Chains A and B, each alone.
Chain A
Amino acid sequence: MTAETGIGASVKRKEDARFITGTGRYTDDVSAPGQSYAVFARSPHARAKLGGIDTSAAAASDGVVAVFTGADLQADGIGDLPCGWMVKSKDGSDMVQPPHPPLAIERVNYVGEPYAVVVAETLEAAKNGAEAVQADFEELPAVVDLKNAAAADSIHDAAPNNQCYDWELGDGAATDAAFERAHHVTRLHIVNNRLIPNAIEPRAALGEYDAAAGSYTLHTTSQNPHLERLVLAAFVNVAPEAKLRVISPDVGGGFGSKIFVYAEETAVIWAAGKLRRPVKWRAERSESFLADAHGRDHVTDAELALAEDGEFLGLRVRTKANMGAYLSTFASSVPTYLYGTLLAGQYKTPAIHVQVQALFTNTAPVDAYRGAGRPEATYVVERLVETAAREIGMDPSDLRRRNFIQPDDFPYETPVALTYDTGDYEASLDKALAHADYAGFAARKAASEASGNKRGIGFSCYIEACGLAPSQVAISLGAGVGLFEVGEVRVDVTGSVTVTTGSHSHGQSHETTFAQIISEKLGVQFENVTVLHGDTGRSDYALGTYGSRSLAVGGSAIVKATEKIVAKGKKIAAHILEAKEDQVDFADGVFQVVDSNQSLTFGEVAFAAYVPANYPLEELEPGLSEKAFYDPPNFTYPAGAHICEVEVDPQTGVVRIEKFVAVDDFGHIVNPMIVEGQVHGGLAQGIGQALLEHGVYDETGQLLSGSYMDYTMPRADDLPSFLVDTTTTPCTHNPLGVKGCGEAGAIGSTAAVMNAVTNALGVTELPMPATPETVWRALREA
């Protein structure tokens, strides 16, 4: 039974039954009787003093129920939107966290920042009302360019030079010494382009207030409803924690952008309480572009010191990271603990020093986007390594091999504060080289050239750190929350199982994967397992889904809970079968007395637990329901090798991906079909960053790439089919031996593509995205 539905099987997804028939239930599909509609008035300016706001015309507009401004929220005790990670500068000072009222007060600092909300009987009336809100703006010069932000006017009084923090990691003196010894130094100036996440489901919220109970229910598009609830209750003061229930039903993609607590749901749930009626909001796509947290946006100077034989001696990295106008929920941790710590990559580089200056600009807040810091780190390391190979005339695969951390080096302590538990980097690279037919590349290149085209190949051997952990270390480094997960396994009287997890699926397939774990561990039919998630009213406090943590952390909690179920089941079985507890084995759904034909099925034991006729009630509570919290002792370290081969048409500058190979080591895999799908999606986003996507503001801070006409999303005809494969070194410190797969595609692929394009063009540096125009110009200038 479990072989087809247990761990390792490509079981078809439970969630598909509703999604393919149009019966999914996303936030905007939920309506409450008598609901009103919210529309936000948003700043047209990147930076301005916000004088008076005249809401009288809006309030008088047809169908408008109420108009609220930041002052109304403030007067009611609503606090700022906080950032959850306190990063310290290298001089020991705390980062600057400027005030971030949900609706702007006194100043607006990016185009699209909300400064008033109009609630009306219909959506149309709310839109008309929002148009009628009149605000006095006194425009100020906008700070847009990250490179020069430190020299510009300060956006926030609290942040001189627009600096949020100036952070460092690693041994600067040792790194300097390594560069003094170097035979060769490779230097690159790297811009990691700003991305706009663009989950296809726009953010939405429905706030309801139950006057009789004095309680609030917020349906919203969140990756972590408990965090949403905690922040809205404890920091923003919307309602006491116990009086606020947050439900994230089906969520249409997140990619990080739905981790954060935003102004809109804050205003919606607050207004629902004030007005004592439901309030609903759904972002239009243009609002998603303007006001979802963006991703990436780094400018970096990086140098790699090499010995004569290609050994890496030292790595020096100086990065400016754009925070946007305010600190979003986890913004500060992305270019530090999720970036600097990953700069060792897969290599034994002995000395690394990184400095990161985080700066405010008059642009939308920047926070985690699929990969969050790790794609930026991989891009720096893998562009440098590839460039170094070309400069010293070594094959890029050989140079990597020369420097890989070897299988017998684990556990391996890097110079940037991580301890990798396991890996086999050469195994992934070898497999990828075979799939890519690297040996045949020269012939393919010759063929391309014969037809007037250029061909290039590029590698990226990435590592990532997933399942951010352990709580105590993260908290000591500034995290404001723990990083554990909870899993509850409730066995029903008839032996079916309901699992409740604090993790959240917005595409990741928890209902299937977690049911497979139960099927494997308890021998229960896959069909008889139901997985619930996304509701603070159902599960204990936990941290939700981001950073590829659901299986490694959430899955581990569920495994722990199943172990408790089995332990209790053995006690029950031993009593009924009149055997010693340590003589009862459990396998494939059967409790068996060793060396006997005495046995009970899992269902029989469950029934006995709830109908305790023959049951040791004096020693054991009735029932069969267990819960476990799991706090990981370390990150997991997925890693792999991506190889991209491109052909470039020099007449048009069009880059065509001829082949993309990804070989990833995710440890053990529960559902290979789902894992492949996660890799495909990540690859599309990584390739999108390299070739298509770019969030661009003009010098006045207007978002130029504010629609699907201007921001190039990867479409079906922009991408190839992918060749994905895996290698396996099981994670050593979680019960499933799993590492996480959600971000790998986006982390590894970007550098592989750009290494391939630069290889084809014969250039060292090329800005992303490598659009036809960029490529065409580079060829003309080369």
Chain B
Amino acid sequence: MEISLNVNGTAHSLEVPANTLLSDILRERLRLTGTHVGCDTSQCGACVVHVNGDAVKSCTVLAGQANGASVTTIEGIGTPDDLHPMQTAFRDNHALQCGFCTPGMIMSAIELVEKNDGLTEQAVRDGLEGNLCRCTGYHNIVKAVLAAARQM
């Protein structure tokens, strides 16, 4: 099928099989490999991107569902010289080790902060429940998200 979507501000028209997943479109067709696939069963959150402003697991979005959408990936939120406050907070608080969960974690965390005021530690923990990290024990991720919330 033919789909059009806007990714990180650039419009794309693509011919893809109807059963193609958004994560595959991003990774394989657009070579935006910052979006990771950790489970392909909607459980780990490594693939989270923003679709029309909502954090979604791109491994469970079909091409047709993404048609016409505006998508933001980890590559689209900041540049090395002008990082998003969440990116800065992750670096400053050592909220990542191997970095594999990080793109999805940052995209989920941005939505969490944007949509909630007065986040507490518990609210951050509950809010990130859909994102697995095997490296950090979440301690520094929680710290980073609370720090970014103060900046955003």
Contact = CB atoms under 8 A, between A and B. Distances in A.
B75 A21 contact: yes
Most buried by B among A13, A284, A680, A719: A680
B98 A717 contact: no
B149 interface: no
A614 B37 CA distance: 57
Given A20-B91, A716-B128, A253 B138 contact: no
B150 interface: no
Nearest to B106: A20
Given A28-B37, A683-B137, A708-B41, A507 B97 contact: yes
B53 interface: no
Nearest to A677: B94
B134 A673 contact: no
Contacts of A685: 134, 137
Contacts of A673: 94
B57 interface: no
B100 A26 contact: yes
Nearest to B35: A22
A684 interface: yes
Contacts of B79: 21
A506 B80 contact: no
B135 interface: yes
Interface string A713-736: 111110101100000000000000
A219 to B, nearest CB: 13
Contacts of A24: 34, 99-100
Given A20-B83, A708-B43, A12 B138 contact: no
Interface stretch (A142-150, A195-203, A487-495): A195-203
Contact of B75 (A22, A202, A678, A715): A22
Interface in A183-202: 198-202
A284 B122 CA distance: 32
Nearest to A251: B98
Contacts of B83: 20-21
Most A CB contacts (10 A, CB to CB) among B83, B122, B137 go to B137
Interface string B116-130: 000001101110110
B46 interface: yes
Interface residues of A, number: 58
B99 A285 contact: no
A213 B94 CA distance: 43
Given A683-B137, A716-B128, A716-B131, A200 B74 contact: no
A20 B89 CA distance: 10
B50 interface: no
A114 B51 CA distance: 38
A419 interface: no
A709 B87 contact: no
B63 interface: no
A251 B97 CA distance: 10
Interface string A507-526: 11100000000000000000
Contacts of A253: 97-98, 100, 134-135
A716 B129 contact: yes
A255 B106 CA distance: 23
Contact of A22 (B74, B139, B141): B74
Which of A17, A250, A253 is the most central at the interface, judged by chain B CB atoms within 10 Å of its CB?
A253
B34 A677 contact: no
A476 interface: no
A597 interface: no
Contact of A201 (B36, B121, B131): B36
Contacts of B36: 26, 200-201, 252
A507 B135 contact: yes
Contact of A681 (B33, B35, B97): B97
Contact of B97 (A18, A508, A709): A508
A682 B41 CA distance: 26
B102 A20 contact: yes
Nearest to A198: B134
A715 B132 contact: yes
Nearest to A21: B80
A707 B32 CA distance: 27
User: Which of A15, A124, A200, A683 has the largest number of chain B CB atoms within 10 A?
Assistant: A200
Contact of A721 (B87, B101, B142): B142
Interface string B4-36: 000000000000010100000001000011111
A19 B136 CA distance: 14
Nearest to B20: A124
B2 interface: no
B97 A200 contact: no
Contacts of B102: 19-20
Given A680-B140, A721-B121, A19 B96 contact: yes
A596 interface: no
B75 A285 contact: no
B140 A677 contact: yes
Contact of B138 (A20, A286, A684): A684
Contacts of A713: 132, 134
Nearest to A680: B137
Given A21-B75, A252-B36, A708 B98 contact: no
A408 interface: no
Contacts of B113: none
Interface string A247-258: 000111101000
Interface in A136-171: none
A21 B78 contact: yes
A631 B13 CA distance: 57
Interface in A255-287: 255, 282, 284-286
Contacts of A707: 41, 43
A707 B41 CA distance: 9
B40 interface: yes
Nearest to A707: B41
Given A22-B74, A509-B97, A716-B129, A284 B40 contact: yes
Contacts of A715: 128-129, 132, 138
B34 A21 contact: yes
A451 interface: no
B39 interface: yes
Contact of A200 (B46, B73, B124): B46
Instruction: Identify which of B35, B36, B96, B98 gathers the most chain A CB atoms within 10 Å of its CB.
Output: B98
Contacts of B138: 680, 684, 714-716, 719
B38 A716 contact: no
A629 to B, nearest CB: 27
A506 B98 contact: yes
A22 B105 CA distance: 12
A252 B99 CA distance: 6
B114 interface: no
Contacts of A680: 136-140
A708 B44 CA distance: 8
Given A16-B91, A28-B33, A199-B134, 17 more contacts: A16-B90, A16-B99, A20-B74, A20-B83, A29-B27, A124-B19, A199-B100, A200-B133, A201-B38, A202-B39, A252-B38, A507-B135, A509-B97, A681-B135, A685-B137, A709-B43, A715-B129
8 contacts: A20-B91, A22-B32, A200-B134, A201-B38, A252-B101, A717-B122, A717-B128, A721-B142
Q: Which 8 A-B pairs have the closest CB atoms?
A: A22-B34, A252-B100, A19-B99, A684-B137, A507-B98, A22-B74, A507-B97, A708-B43
